[in-house]
Amino acid sequence: MNKKKCIAVVSGGELPLPPVRGGAAETLTDMLIRENEEKHNINFVVYSIYYDKAVEEKYHNTKCIFVKINYLYNVILQFISKVIVKMFHHQLFLEDKYYASKVKKAIKNSGDSYDYILIENNARLVDVLEKVKVPMILHLHNEIFTSDLGYKKGADKCRAFITVSEYISKKATQVKNPQSIFTLKNCIEVKRFRYTKEKEVFRRKFRNQHGICSSDIVCVFSGRIHETKGVYEILRAFEKIKRKDIYLLIIGGTFYSSNKPTPYSKKCADLALKLGKQVILTGYVDYASMPYYYSIGDIGLMPSLWNEPACLVQIEMQAAGLPLICTQNGGTPEYTFKESCIFVHNETLVDDLYNAIMRLADDSDYRKKLASNAPAMVKNFNEVNYYKNFCEIIEKIDTSEEQNK
């Protein structure tokens, strides 16, 4: 870049930066910031919801401004929003506007001059933050234009959209000129997921603790225990498996760092209990430990029932050398490959999962072939390329801005 840009990065508001409570969008933003801490092509200033552990974990070369929320007031706003939706079928998102107003005030009080405000995955902040009079870029991690949730009217107020997949970019053309939409493919820190002797020790120890032999097959699911993720369908597929040498490891809570039960998670837990020791539920595992938990497995499962925008888990599992069984909804095909995956279908998901698991369990040569191919398939989805591509997109936005003047 000819001139070093100064960009205010605004987290979505539910989870903090640094991502001490997890979150895919927060993890990606964190990698972008940490890569910039080394290369420093951009001056980032992070605006995040206050969380004590996030303050302790703060960046070395990036300023963080933490916004404190009155949680009682926030709960009242959430309650009012729900009542209005129920009575008038109208969404106000008062809690988001409350957070955005706090960020707006913090930006004005900071004394910093910004070239752009980068809003992370929360279009509901746009209406308030536009009052700062700084060009806004919305980083979209989800599909938000299929329902009227107050997102559409903010589209024209943003200078550009950055999306996580071509699938989301195509959806975004409903409300934005394609020339103002840029795709930035997700990434992971690939080297962290490579198999090491340290991970091999963890694998052996975990398996020994749970009575799993070295020759047994462990299938791994990682993600939120939610209807969209296909967890119950995995468990139903395991009901059909009669072999005692095939295990299921389910890693994840109901909402990122939370293990608070929901009716769906209880339904899954009840079926898991019925299946006995063949199913192991870990609850939430912090992101730093995930490469070790992947090393326990032999097969990765990602049977999402919804249109995944671009799930990090599918990259992580392939980087960890797990052959992947997954659906191909939404942006998933942009991150999965026939050389390392078996694809299953929503309509016949339980049977497809069962058949795919048994195929990989029975054919060790095929399983090892997919496992061997997997890391090479995702090697380019790394933080170095992610940062490089982001910087190139900012240059393109600059160019389009100059052309429009």
* Cα 55 to Cα 301: distance, rounded to the nearest angstrom: 35
Q: In Å, what is the CA distance from 316 to each residue of 207, 209, 220, 389?
A: 21, 25, 12, 20
Query: pLDDT at position 2, please?
Result: 60
Tally Cβ neighbours within 10 Å of residue 376.
13
Q: Is the distance from CB of 252 to CB of 221 less than 8 angstroms?
A: yes
What's the burial of 403, exposed, middle or buried (CB within 10 Å: 0-12/13-18/19+)? exposed
Region of 18 please: left (phi>0), alpha (psi -120 to 50) or beta.
beta
Pairing of strands 160-163, 341-343: unpaired
DSSP string of 346-405, one letter each residue: STTHHHHHHHHHHHHHH-HHHHHHHHHHHHHHTTTSBHHHHHHHHHHHHHHHHHHHHHH-
CATH top-level class of 5-187+382-404: alpha beta
Count of CB atoms situated within 10 Å of the CB of 355? 16
Phi, psi of 390 (to 5 degrees): -60, -45
Identical fold, 5-187+382-404 and 190-377: yes
Three-state SS at 66: strand
Contact 104, 21 (CB under 8 A): no
C-alpha closest to that of 154 among 166, 137, 141: 137
CATH topology for the 190-377 domain: Rossmann fold (3.40.50)
Q: How far is CA 256 from CA 92, 140, 354, in A?
A: 25, 19, 27
> Residue 322: which of 203, 209, 232, 405 has the closest Cα?
203
Q: What is the pLDDT of residue 1?
A: 47
Omega of the bond leading into 18 within 30 degrees of 0 (cis): yes
- From the number of C-beta atoms within 10 Å of its C-beta (0-12, 13-18, 19+), residue 211 rates as exposed
Q: What is the dihedral of CA 302, 292, 163, 309, to 10 degrees?
A: 10
Write out the E strands in 151-258.
160-163, 181-183, 217-222, 246-251
Find where tokens 């107003």 sit: 101
Q: What angle do CA 5, 19, 28 make, to 5 degrees?
A: 55
Token pair in block for residue 12: 């979505």
Phi/psi region, residue 93 (left: phi>0; alpha: psi -120 to 50; beta: rest), is left
Q: Residue 280: beta bridge partners? A: 249
Residue with tokens 């079928």: 89
Spatial separation of the C-alpha atoms in residues 376 and 364, rounded to whole Å:
20
Provide block-wise average pLDDT over 10 residues at a time, the chain (405 residues).
Answer: 85 92 89 94 96 90 93 88 78 87 96 95 92 95 67 79 95 90 95 95 97 97 94 97 96 70 92 95 91 98 95 95 96 96 97 98 97 97 96 90 59
Helix (H) or strand (E) holding 3: none
pLDDT of residue 149: 53
CA angle (21 as vertex; 19, 22 as ends), nearest 5: 65
Domain boundaries, the chain: 5-187+382-404, 190-377
Spell out the residues 6+ positions from residue 242 whose beta carbon is closer than 8 angstroms to its own: none
Residue 187 has a CB neighbour count (10 Å cut-off) of 24
